[in-house]
Structure 1
Amino acid sequence: MSRLTDLIARAKAKDRALGEELEREFKTLASRRAFGLNFERHRPESVELPGRPVRRGDKVRILPPRGSVERGDQRLWRVIRLNAGAEPQTALVSLIDVEDPEMVDVAVADLVVLAEFRDYIYPGLVSTGKVERGDDKPFHTVINGENFHVLEALTYTHRGKFDAIYIDPPYNTGARDWKYNNNYVEGEDIYRHSKWLAFMERRLRIARELLDPLNSILIVTIDEKEYLRLGLLLQQCFPEAAQQMVTIVINPNGVARGRELARVEEYAFFLFFGDASPALLADSLLDTESTTGTGASRVRWEWLMRGGSNSRRQDRPNLFYPIFIDPQQKIVVDVGDAIPLGQPKESVSDRPGLVTVWPLRTTGEEANWRTSPSYLRELLKAGHARVGAYDKKNDRWSMLYLGKAQIRRIVDGEIAVTGKREDGSLLLEATTDEAKRTPKTVWNRPGHKAGEYGSLLVKKFLGGRAFPFPKSLYAVEDALRIAVAKKPKALILDFFSGSGTTAHAIMRLNRQDGGRRQCISVTNNEVAADEQAALRKEGLRPGDPDWEKLGICDYITKPRIAAAITGKTPEGQDIAGDYKFTDEFPMAEGFEENAEFFTLTYETPVAVSHNLAFQRIAPLLWMRAGSEGRRIDDLPHTGWEVADTYGLLVDLDCSAAFCEAVASQANARIAYIVTDDDRRFQAVARALPDSVEPVRLYESYLSNFRFSMGR
């Protein structure tokens, strides 16, 4: 039922004659079809928030008894009061939108809070873990929450900042793959297409607020069920963008349905905003004479420590030896000899002023180097090896070297030596004259097979856990390369992140060119439809720990991204096999990247304005400042604090010291100033460096969510 139909029904209940007249006028208007895509914009969606504490004034639903698999009461109730002292705690709730409100007392444990999308929200974030291997790189973030609400949260932190958005939304196949108003939309639903269009339109309208209007790209994948409607919807939502559709062969064997031809492809819409254009690539993605993986345009320094199989000390004991480096100059002073397998590394004495580097994993396990001591000495002499980055968290240095393939390219003239670093290692630049070209609109590459490089790859990273229909890692990588190859510091959003393929692909791009691209992934924690009935029979409900641990975010997305970074499955086993195509190396090596995981929370404006929700607002402030370095998680007892990229001033009497500290922090971008006095805020803002953006808390936060979403 559309929103207007719903309102007319309510009008009929109060004044039948007026309701019928409105209905006649509505039918007359509805019969006048304008040119373009017409669909019912159904009543605003709603989402249940299991685990969110019940508060007075909340909209709630009453849950069915534990153990029941029947659909619960779908009526909406409002919490009138929470009954103090009752055990178990109860609440008085009143039925919404009826002539004669019904009131009942219900156990709070049997209520679930419901948010309608026309309601205002005041979001926060709670950290649920992190992985750090990327030293000072910005953090990729994964947010568990309803994506419409997370998109609203991002309007405060990233409005107009995203260089690319890549989404793989539900394809609306008629299977139970997505919900509308907490109900699965199935094939026999006569409003299936209009519900999907309304669902997509709401999210795309917020997404346009997040894209950089001067230079950004939106990529949306789809199959044959909705590609026609989606194409027209995108044109209507983004009339200013240049739009193209790409055909991607994902299953050369094809899938035949009934009397249809065997389908081998799906589609991706590319929308280019402002000055954005597709990056030129060595591979057109169609022509047989250009293939991904030539490596002709890259100069890659590899990790000296071995990963994957045969990487333990006992596997190759002759490759376990010390390297002595000067940490101040970041140079290798000497390479020691291999020590016997039974001899502890402590038997080798440290040297004054030097750091002894051994091939050790972050767990402390002894590994081995990729080269012998004598060959490493040759590499260092030739400038083909050097000291890498210092890992502060694990207090260790990495070592880098050029593999034989890269050295051969230097000899063949494909790579030019343009100079030397202070440590004696070579400065290199690819000199290939291979013509780069604009990618074609039909892609036919082995790496785009969804089965082998989607489903099977996800199982490999998750130790056998399955996820339905993930994208090929390499297909997503190619799509994003077109969008952000020219932007090594690009910011990318995926708000239908599923198994986390987009973040994984961005890590691969970063490794290939040394980029610092950052991905924000958004997904909910929905449990697969075929598992829900069994869990309910066991007496479980959404919000219970044993239910939530099987949700997509906790069971798939977070573990997959962590596994990609660490090179280990959730069970701690090295991931077997190598990456393919553009960059081939053992998956067990992982990536030098950082990631943090969050869950969306719903705050009250009173708690926010009185500094009572700061710990949940703090991650948003950190993200707005770039998701880099240290975060200020608690209100500073000194009245102010300055982190790596931003500062927080709570006590305006300390403004002089605060401004001085901000000015001395070279990477500071934002100064958050907590005050209700605009004149004092302006005074502090004038004392800050011009390069630092002053932001008033909590006025900027509250006004963003009160007014910016156009409710």
Structure 2
Amino acid sequence: MKMTTRAEAQRLIDKALKLGDAELAADIRAFANQREFGLVFEHNRPERMRLYGKLVSVGDTVQVMAPRGEKELDENRVCWKVESVTGGVAGLACVDVPGETREAALEDLVAVAEYDEPIYAGLRENGRVERGGNKPYQVVINGENYHALESLLFCYAGKVDCIYIDPPYNTGARDWKYNNDYVDGTDEYRHSKWLAMMERRLKLAKKLLNPQESVLICAIDEKEYLRLGLLLEQIFPSCGIEMVTSVISAKGVARTGQFSRVEEYLFFVRVGDADIGLGTDNMLDETRDSKEKIGKDVDWLGMRRREPSAVRGARKDQFYPVFVDIKTGHITAIGDSIPDDVARDTVQCPDGCEAVWPLRKNGQEGIWGITPPTARRDLEKGYIRSSIARRGGKRTITIKYLPEGTVSAIESGSVRVVGRNEDGSIIGRYEVEKGVIPKRVWNKKSHNAETYGSLLIGALLPNRKFSYPKSLYAVEDALSFTVAKKPNALILDFFSGSGTTAHAVMRLNHQDGGHRRCICVTNNEISEAEEKKLTKQGYRHGDPEWERLGICEYVTKPRIRAAITGFTPDGEPIKGNYKFVDEFPIADGLEENAIFFDLTYENPRMVEFGESFDAVAPLLWLRAGARGRVIEHEQKGFAVADSYAVLFTYAYANEFVETVSANPAIKCAYVVTDDEGRFASVAAQLPGRDVVRLYESYLRSFKIAAEGAVN
């Protein structure tokens, strides 16, 4: 419920209480608590996720897959509880129909979980590419993104600098699944399903974002942008939210009787103190360019505010005299602000001076753009000056100043002070590019989705197709406005598709030598047409013939590998050059490291007893910065890697503490113990480091994530 609506409800409650009708007040309160305002949809529509790859065991909820060669029917969506397992056959009890039982082969079962059920995920490495030396790794996770986000909360809660997502657009063209079914235009619940799906993931994403300063970027088209905007306002009520219109194909999509569609939209959600950086142009046209100012003098602006509302009294302490020497025309002093009821002609001028007030051309009293203390400080530094003009025998004095951005540029060195005028004001000259404020309509050749999305993937992965990829340079531009000044930024994309976001992050690193990291999460789904074809051939999800054609295996991983190595999957040098910013042959590759994981589902009891360390190990490495060696197996005593260490045996605690303390590169220390006191003892001896208790912290993280799913 919006705050304004809550306030109105409270006003009515207070009024009822004043009238002495407590029963009416209670009724109003009850009604307000159950009534939904704003964006209304079925938040809790069931979302069951199949946990492909999970070993089915007693107690699991499962579905029985269709026989090989047959398509799935409604009966294959019925949920069963595994009561027993004997010789590869499971005894099942129906979840929804008490007393109904059946048997099924284990190979025909797939575990399922509701979105709000705790799952305990791990990671299994299935490949890597290394060309980046000691740089951190770009990470690709193949798995259900909701569960991947829960896993990442253990590693990166409150640490992500930027999230860029390009979710399914819900066009009704059966291009995404809900409960393992394609959603089409005839589904009367398709908007609620899409909103429920997005809300659950955005709530987890919010927990991952750095609350001090971070940005969420979400691409969308005309089908859901209005609902998405309302959803973002509800989830991020205290954040600044802006929508950018981005032209992705100037030729447009012709639609009879309608406007030709040329655009998509980008929502930018600014968390905490995050702001949008400057660009090299305004993103819309060629009227402003960051290089046009190099070698030119800085621009002085009139100090009087120009907007219609800027009249005397509109702002406190901004109506005051500026005293100018009558003979030289130079500013001698800044006067004090005067009360609104005091006439300006009652203010006395110093001898030999005249007072300049913020007056409009029609004589109406206005206000200055800054207060007297700021004006005095800037006058002393040479950032304010007077300008005298003579027209028709009349002398006019204008007060000019350097705005805050120019002052910052002077103090940072991007504007050089080459001298001073007679009045002491500075002569400043632009030495480097002057950033340009980007506009909220983008129209750039580099953002063409066909040329720099589809055709680029064709160059990287000949004969492989991916539907509707983003332009590499469009994603690069969007990210640069948020992380250009953060060379060590952590970026997340949990609808990563073809891997454009990771590619763009690596390109940004190439441009400035940064060590930004990107975590890409994608599933390994295949298209509806391929699914029908493979089903007829007798294949299922999990078979090698099925998996090799999935998005992650067929496009995402090969694309990132090709971008780094400069070679196609067939070993041929990639043809063509990168364009626009930072032009060089694509075949040169990128000096980066990347690692690929499959999401796994672990038994919490096995984790608690230390029997699943191999699956948890990559999460420990990720939390420690995704750099250097992974401690892959549990061992006696303790183990030390490049950026973290794990204490397996408490008897070695003293030696562990000494080793970690002597190595400043170790930022994270894990302690395997069931004893809170022992953990606290080790943690107290390692101040300034991230000390984590295993496996309690891991298990608690997933439990909390599940509990938060229903709030």
Same fold (TM over 0.5): yes
Q: CA deviation at 1:280?
A: 1.1
Could you say which residue in structure 1 is the equivalent of 2:514?
Answer: 515
Cα distance in 1 for residues equivalent to 2:215 and 2:289:
24
Report the CA distance shift for 1:564/1:592 in structure 2 as closer, same or farther (over 3 A).
same
Residue type at the aligned position of 1:227: Y
Does 1:287 pair with 2:285? yes
User: Aligned Cα RMSD in Å?
Assistant: 2.3
Cα distance in 1 for residues equivalent to 2:487 and 2:196:
35
Report the CA distance shift for 1:246/1:660 in structure 2 as closer, same or farther (over 3 A).
same
Does 1:271 pair with 2:269? yes
Does 1:530 pair with 2:529? yes
Could you say which residue in structure 1 is the equivalent of 2:457?
Answer: 458
Report the CA distance shift for 1:157/1:294 in structure 2 as closer, same or farther (over 3 A).
farther
Deviation per CA, 1:575-597, whole angstroms, max 9, x where unpaired?
00000001100000110001100
Could you say which residue in structure 1 is the equivalent of 2:132?
Answer: 134
Cα distance in 2 for residues equivalent to 1:203 and 1:233:
12
Could you say which residue in structure 2 is the equivalent of 1:668?
Answer: 666
3-state SS in 2 of match to 1:61: strand
Gaps of 5+ in 2: 1-26, 296-413, 417-428
Q: Contact conserved, 1:130 with 1:594, CA < 8 A, in 2?
A: yes
Q: CA deviation at 1:415?
A: 14
Trace 1:109-148 onto structure 2 (pairs within 5 A): 109-148=107-146
Gaps of 5+ in 1: 1-24, 298-413, 417-429
Cα distance in 2 for residues equivalent to 1:508 and 1:675:
42
Does 1:52 pair with 2:50? no
Trace 1:28-39 onto structure 2 (pairs within 5 A): 34-39=36-41
Residue type at the aligned position of 1:471: K
Could you say which residue in structure 1 is the equivalent of 2:21?
Answer: none
Could you say which residue in structure 2 is the equivalent of 1:441?
Answer: 440
Report the CA distance shift for 1:439/1:58 in structure 2 as closer, same or farther (over 3 A).
same
Could you say which residue in structure 2 is the equivalent of 1:579?
Answer: 578
Could you say which residue in structure 1 is the equivalent of 2:550?
Answer: 551
Residue type at the aligned position of 2:185: G
Could you say which residue in structure 2 is the equivalent of 1:496?
Answer: 495
TM-score between the two structures when normalised by the length of structure 1? 0.75
Equivalent of 2:704 in 699, 703, 707 = 707
Equivalent of 1:221 in 216, 219, 222 = 219
Trace 1:237-276 onto structure 2 (pairs within 5 A): 237-276=235-274
Q: Contact conserved, 1:645 with 1:669, CA < 8 A, in 2?
A: yes
Deviates more, 1:453-462 or 1:282-291: 282-291
Does 1:183 pair with 2:186? no
Cα distance in 2 for residues equivalent to 1:32 and 1:635:
51
Does 1:101 pair with 2:93? no
Cα distance in 2 for residues equivalent to 1:646 and 1:31:
48
Trace 1:255-404 onto structure 2 (pairs within 5 A): 255-290=253-288
Q: Contact conserved, 2:541 with 2:547, CA < 8 A, in 1?
A: yes
Equivalent of 1:172 in 170, 173, 191 = 170
Equivalent of 2:149 in 137, 148, 151 = 151
Cα distance in 1 for residues equivalent to 2:126 and 2:473:
29
Residue type at the aligned position of 1:707: I
Residue type at the aligned position of 2:701: N
Deviation per CA, 1:220-247, whole angstroms, max 9, x where unpaired?
0000111111111100110011000001
Q: CA deviation at 1:69?
A: 2.5
Q: CA deviation at 1:636?
A: 2.2
Could you say which residue in structure 1 is the equivalent of 2:611?
Answer: 612
Could you say which residue in structure 1 is the equivalent of 2:81?
Answer: 78
Q: CA deviation at 1:97?
A: 2.0
Q: Contact conserved, 1:293 with 1:583, CA < 8 A, in 2?
A: no
Could you say which residue in structure 2 is the equivalent of 1:340?
Answer: none
The count of corresponding residues between Structure 1 and Structure 2 is 549
Q: Contact conserved, 1:500 with 1:560, CA < 8 A, in 2?
A: yes
Could you say which residue in structure 2 is the equivalent of 1:381?
Answer: none
Q: CA deviation at 1:258?
A: 3.0
Residue type at the aligned position of 2:55: P
Cα distance in 2 for residues equivalent to 1:133 and 1:37:
47
Cα distance in 2 for residues equivalent to 1:93 and 1:233:
40
Cα distance in 2 for residues equivalent to 1:273 and 1:32:
29
Q: CA deviation at 1:42?
A: 3.9
Deviation per CA, 1:254-291, whole angstroms, max 9, x where unpaired?
10223111011100000111110011122211131446
Report the CA distance shift for 1:290/1:79 in structure 2 as closer, same or farther (over 3 A).
same
Could you say which residue in structure 2 is the equivalent of 1:408?
Answer: none
Q: Contact conserved, 2:452 with 2:471, CA < 8 A, in 1?
A: yes
3-state SS in 1 of match to 2:110: strand
Q: Contact conserved, 2:245 with 2:263, CA < 8 A, in 1?
A: yes
Residue type at the aligned position of 1:199: M
Deviates more, 1:675-684 or 1:518-527: 675-684
Does 1:698 pair with 2:695? yes
Cα distance in 1 for residues equivalent to 2:415 and 2:291:
16
Deviation per CA, 1:93-118, whole angstroms, max 9, x where unpaired?
111022x3211121111111112212
Does 1:656 pair with 2:654? yes
Cα distance in 2 for residues equivalent to 1:677 and 1:292:
59
TM-score between the two structures when normalised by the length of structure 2? 0.75
Could you say which residue in structure 2 is the equivalent of 1:350?
Answer: none
Cα distance in 2 for residues equivalent to 1:79 and 1:618:
29
Cα distance in 2 for residues equivalent to 1:475 and 1:590:
20
Q: CA deviation at 1:432?
A: 4.0
Q: CA deviation at 1:646?
A: 0.6
Q: CA deviation at 1:49?
A: 2.2
Cα distance in 1 for residues equivalent to 2:575 and 2:187:
44
3-state SS in 2 of match to 1:178: strand
Q: Contact conserved, 1:525 with 1:552, CA < 8 A, in 2?
A: yes
Residue type at the aligned position of 2:70: S
Cα distance in 1 for residues equivalent to 2:133 and 2:216:
30
Q: CA deviation at 1:601?
A: 0.7
3-state SS in 2 of match to 1:601: strand
Q: Contact conserved, 1:52 with 1:113, CA < 8 A, in 2?
A: yes
Q: CA deviation at 1:43?
A: 2.6
Residue type at the aligned position of 2:695: Y
Deviation per CA, 1:9-35, whole angstroms, max 9, x where unpaired?
xxxxxxxxxxxxxxxx9xx98999643
Q: Contact conserved, 1:415 with 1:432, CA < 8 A, in 2?
A: yes
Residue type at the aligned position of 2:611: L
Report the CA distance shift for 1:582/1:291 in structure 2 as closer, same or farther (over 3 A).
farther
Q: Contact conserved, 1:42 with 1:195, CA < 8 A, in 2?
A: no
Q: Contact conserved, 1:294 with 1:582, CA < 8 A, in 2?
A: no
Structure with max Cα Rg:
2
Could you say which residue in structure 1 is the equivalent of 2:560?
Answer: 561
Report the CA distance shift for 1:31/1:636 in structure 2 as closer, same or farther (over 3 A).
closer
Report the CA distance shift for 1:293/1:562 in structure 2 as closer, same or farther (over 3 A).
farther
Deviation per CA, 1:284-319, whole angstroms, max 9, x where unpaired?
11131446999999xxxxxxxxxxxxxxxxxxxxxx
Q: CA deviation at 1:557?
A: 0.5
3-state SS in 2 of match to 1:251: coil
Equivalent of 2:69 in 67, 70, 74 = 67
Could you say which residue in structure 1 is the equivalent of 2:352?
Answer: none
3-state SS in 1 of match to 2:138: strand
Deviation per CA, 1:135-179, whole angstroms, max 9, x where unpaired?
010001000110011111111100000000000000000011111
Residue type at the aligned position of 2:268: F
Q: Contact conserved, 2:64 with 2:76, CA < 8 A, in 1?
A: yes
